[in-house]
Amino acid sequence: MINGNQLFFTRLKKGWLYQYKVWKTAVDWIVWLYILVPVLFIFFIQYHSLYSGQTAWVQLVPLELTWFLLFFLSWTGVIRLFVEHGDLLFLRQNKTVLSSLMKLGIYYSVLKNTFFLIAVFLLLLPFWLIYEGVSYAEISIFFLFVFFFRLCLQLVKQMLAVSFQNWKLLLMNIGFFISSFMIFLVFYLSSFLVKLVIITLVIVSFIFLYKRRLTMTWCFYEDCFREEEQRLKLTSLFLGASGYPAEKRLFRRKKPFLLFPNSMQLYKDRTSSNIMTELFLKFLLRSKTRLLFMLRMTGIFTFALTITPFSIKWILLPVCMFSFIHFTKTGWRELKNQPFFKLFLYKEHDETVKAVKKTIGFVTLPSCFIFGFTVGLTNYSLTVGGAVAILSALLAFFYIKREMWIE
C-alpha cells in the first residue's frame, strides 16, 4: 500500500540530493575561496557596522523602502506539491494518498517561507532597530502579516495561472497585483488594532485558499510541469550563467501571450536584416515570462527612481538604463541556443549585428524614455522631465548603436 508520508519524504530527499549534486558540480573550492568567502567576509563586516550605527550611506536611503521591499519579496516563491507525471497511472486514482502528498507539499512550502522570511527580517533588522527606532512588537506584527500574505499570494498566483490564459491572465495578474499592493499599503499605514484585524482576515483567507487548492486536481498536468521547473531551476540558472541555457520542456502549443498573436510578416522587404529583426522581436515579445519580467523591471526601476533622493537619482538612472538594455541583450544568446534557430542558416556579419541592435533599441528605448522622464519630473518639472526623457533615449540609442558589443 502506497503511503503518502513515505512518498513525500522519499521525493523530498531525492530532490535535495539532486540540488546538492548540482551545487557541488558548479561551486568548487576555487569559487568558495576566491568569490564566496570574500563576499561573506565583506557582508559580515557591513552587517556589524550596521548594528553599531557607523554606516553613513544608510542616511541616503529612504528606510520606508525596506518595508515595501517585503511586498515585492512576497511575490516570489511558489507552493510545492511534489506530484510527478508518473502519478497519472497510479496515484491520481488514489485520492487519499494524493491529497496527503499535496498537503505535505504545502506544509513544506510553509516551512520554507518561514526560514526565508526569518533570514530577510534578520537582514533588515538593524535598519529598523538602529536607524528607524521600530520596536520588536511592531516588527513581529509585520512578520506575521507578511508570512501569511506571501502564502496567500503564492496560492492565488498558482490558481490564476491554471485558470486563465493569455490576455485574461495578464488582466487578472495586473488586477491582483494592484489589489494586493493596496492591502499591503493599508496595513502599513493602519493603527495597531486595524493591523490585527487585517492579519486575522489574511489568516482566514489562507485557510480557505489552502482547502480550495487541495480540491483542484483537474490541473494535474500544469502542477507536474511546475514541479519539474522547480526541480531544474538551479540547473538552468548555472547553465544559463555558463552560456549554455538548458533545454526547456515542451508545453502544449498555445497562441502567443499578448503581442503578435498571428504569425504575420512585419516587413514587406524580406532582406536578411529585416527577417532577423522580425524573428528576434517576436521571440522577445511573444514570451510571456520575458515580457512580464521586462514590464516588472520597468515598474520597479521607475518606482526606485521616484523615491530615491535627488543626487542618487542621477547615479541610478544610467544604472537602470544599462541594466535593462543588457537584460534584453541576453535574449539574443537565448535565441541562438533554441533548437529551431539552429536550423536557420545565417552568418554573424554586419547585417546580423545591425538587426540585433535595432531590435534591442525597439524594445528598450520606451523604458529608457520613462526612466528619464521620471527623474526629470520628480526633480524639477514636467518640461524638464520631457527633456531628460529625450536625452536618456538618445543616450541609450547611441550606446546601443556605437558601443554595445554583440556576440
Q: 16 pLDDT exceeds 70?
A: yes
371: closest CA among 393, 345, 352? 393
Instruction: Say what the pLDDT of residue 1 is.
Output: 59
Q: Measured in Å, how far apart are the chain's first and last C-alpha atoms? A: 56
Instruction: Say what the pLDDT of residue 300 is.
Output: 85
Cα separation, 185 vs 67, in Å, equals: 10
Cell of 373: 522622464
Which of 26-40, 52-66, 170-184 is predicted most confidently? 170-184
Q: Could you read off the pLDDT of 145-189 as tens digits, one per residue? A: 999 999 999 999 999 988 887 778 878 888 999 999 999 999 999
Confidence of residue 69 (pLDDT cuts 50, 70, 90): confident
Cα separation, 215 vs 350, in Å, equals: 56
Instruction: Say what the pLDDT of residue 114 is.
Output: 96
Cell of 369: 524614455
Instruction: Return the higher-pLDDT residue of 206 and 286.
Output: 206
Q: What is the DSSP letter of 387?
A: H
Instruction: Say what the pLDDT of residue 237 is.
Output: 72
Cell of 93: 486514482
Alpha-carbon torsion (161, 166, 169, 170), positive or negative = positive
When pLDDT is averaged across residues 112-133 and rounded to a whole number, the result is 90
Query: Which letter, b or e, does each residue of 267-283 get, where b requires 16 or more Cβ atoms within 10 Å of its Cβ?
Result: eeeeeebbbbbbbbbbb
Helix/strand number for the chain, H first, E second:
16, 0
Q: Is 257 exposed, middle or buried (0-12, 13-18, 19+ CB in 10 A)?
A: buried
Q: 372 pLDDT exceeds 60?
A: yes
Cα separation, 331 vs 286, in Å, equals: 12
Instruction: Say what the pLDDT of residue 289 is.
Output: 75
Cα separation, 173 vs 289, in Å, equals: 13
Confidence of residue 10 (pLDDT cuts 50, 70, 90): very high
263 vs 252, 286, 288, 363, CA distance in Å? 18, 11, 16, 19
Instruction: Return the higher-pLDDT residue of 272 and 243.
Output: 272
Q: Could you read off the pLDDT of 230-264 as tens digits, one per residue? A: 888 887 777 665 555 555 554 444 555 455 555 56
Q: How many residues are there in the chain?
A: 407
Instruction: Return the higher-pLDDT residue of 219 and 33.
Output: 219
Cα separation, 179 vs 24, in Å, equals: 42
